[in-house]
Amino acid sequence: MIKYRITKYNPICRDIDGRYTKSEWTSYSDIGKYYYDQRFEKEDYLAIEQKYIYSLMLILNEEKIFALKVMELEKRRTLEQIEKFMQSKNLLISDEGKSIFSSIKNGDLIDINNIPHLIQLLLRESLWCRLMSPLHNIIVEFGYDYYMYVNCDGINMELKSKIQDTGMFVETMSNQ
């Protein structure tokens, strides 16, 4: 399998050790802060969040994956705590997202139609888990600082181009 890092971060801004050197927002909690004299707004956040969701959905559709299995689930807050903090940033959790958060457990299969809601919860740090296709030919996880990792047999050039056309960056990390 090949591990890809798919992010909003331009790889030309990495140092020789791979560390990202540009100061950028890394979480929805940064909404309202300033970066390079520009205020980071909710609409800016939502646009990038949508690009992550779209990118992963492109990959799942290409691979004909219709569900992902929840592995290593971690919940550190209650739904009420999460909603309260998101409201402070003028963000909402969809009813579908609330339902997923309330009922999700290890081993659950998340249908393709609910995956965007789960990704939103993951990106907003509401919970953490590793997602695996039932056939184990793809593994997805989200890391700190708004990183998405996809382990799969490979992302073809056409698909990589579609993802990059949105402004996202696809970097090959390693073969495993």
What was the pLDDT predicted at 134?
A: 85
CB atoms within 10 A of CB 68: 26
Mean pLDDT by 10 residues, the chain (176 residues): 96 93 95 96 98 98 95 96 94 96 97 97 96 91 95 95 97 78
- Each domain of the chain, given as residue ranges in start order, spans 2-175
What burial letters (b/e) apply to 21-48, b meaning 16+ CB within 10 Å? eeeebeebebbeeeeeeeebeeeebeeb
Please give the Cα distance from 51 to 128 (Å, whole number): 19
